[in-house]
A and B are shown apart, each in its own frame.
Chain A
Amino acid sequence: MLLYLRDLFVCFAACFFYGKIMAVTVRARIPASLTGAVSYLLYRIIYLETGHELTGYLAAALLVSVLSELLARRMKLPATVFVMPAIIPLVPGVGLYRSMLCLVQNDFDGFFSAGVRTLFISGIVAVAIAIVNAAARHFPHRHHEEKSGPPSLT
């Protein structure tokens, strides 16, 4: 339970700072980081409770993209602004590291199993986002008004 809570808070902070690198405005970054944190938590819960890693990634990526499309419509911004910071915790850096480590240790079996797993995870995450994005383009997107309000805080 404590670890889940840690995941939620830490993931929010990680996405928030990552969004800064990509110059996402603070107004968009806070909901985007929340999306990222909640989705990562969903992945963790599915993975730790059922042991299905790929299902966890798929569900989390779908959640990221659906929430981002909803936020995009509500805040009248392109969905990319929300997807990009939120997806980072789901990019399998651990898998990349593990496969590299196996290669360095001349463990080719380990390299192939970790590498294929990493490839599959990143593929599933990207495809989930792309599918939801493609589907969302069929729903009418109300054109957004240009904001002359507060200046951006990038």
Chain B
Amino acid sequence: MEAAEDRTTLLIDTAVLAAVIILENGGETFRAEETASRICSAAGKPDAEVLAFPTGVIITVKEENGHNASSVVRVKKRSINLFRVERTNSYSRSYESDRLSLLELKDKLESLRRSPTSSKGVVALAAALSSAMFTLLFEPTLEPHVLFDLGVTFLCTFFAEYVCIASKLKNSYQFTVTFFGSALMALIAVLATGLAGIGNLSCIIIGAITPLLPGISLTNAIRDTVTGDILSGTVRLAETLLIAVAIAGGVGVVLAGYMGLAGRFGAIGGML
């Protein structure tokens, strides 16, 4: 009896952990549900019920004595780490095909959850390089000032990512941080082009905000909706819109101020 109960507890803990890792790291909701259900089925509990949404997971498993055992876990931090999603997927499949025991699976998932992520500097550097490339992509022509644009984009993204986006604040105050991050980017871009008197401000800003764009939430939102998970789909869609508004607002505030000043002094018009 004891052993059966322990096993059910272990099973629920493992299944919940797998679902939580997927949700925390930018996986789709249906993937989290599917993975948890697969683990339960493989453990001989095909009637387990899993309900996942972007901020939490609920699992209920029927025990041998007829009682229901369940677990509710709140997903607090959400970021994007597709490596962990992919590993969780492959570990659960190994468990299904009996190449891992339940205990091994749980250990692997726990160490995966604690696995080191890239440092703040590396993330900021990758973001900066990526947005510099996007600036180059959006430039209409290839003239010498493109190099200046590249440099400025690199600087503003690196700085903004390092200060705001890669900070721990991102998980809890995502909209605020996105707003101030994009405002900071726009500010650096405006200052650099205004002082140097050359450069294409639009291209710099578009390149700089590209890594912030909520492309992943949007794709996941539509995917969740299409697979019938309308609750998660709606939640993620709202998140997408809010992030887009935060970016547009952050950049817009700075540009509005800049254009107001430009109108007053009449000297820096025609930059946009």
Contacts and interface: CB of A to CB of B under 8 A. Distances in A.
Given A93-B209, A131-B226, A87 B215 contact: yes
Interface residues on A, range: 35 or more
B81 interface: yes
A17 B219 contact: no
B226 A130 contact: yes
Interface string B231-262: 00000000000001001100110011001000
Given A6-B142, A21-B80, A146-B90, A100 B252 contact: yes
A144 interface: yes
A20 B91 contact: no
B226 to A, nearest CB: 4
A3 B211 CA distance: 23
A143 interface: yes
26 contacts: A2-B142, A14-B210, A23-B81, A78-B85, A80-B82, A83-B219, A84-B216, A88-B215, A91-B218, A93-B134, A94-B138, A94-B206, A96-B247, A97-B206, A104-B252, A104-B256, A122-B218, A126-B218, A126-B222, A129-B219, A130-B222, A130-B225, A133-B223, A143-B93, A143-B97, A147-B90
Interface of B: 26-28, 31, 80-86, 89-91, 93-94, 96-97, 99, 117-118, 122-123, 126-127, 129-130, 133-134, 136-138, 142, 202, 205-206, 209-211, 213, 215-216, 218-219, 221-223, 225-227, 244, 247-248, 251-252, 255-256, 259, 272
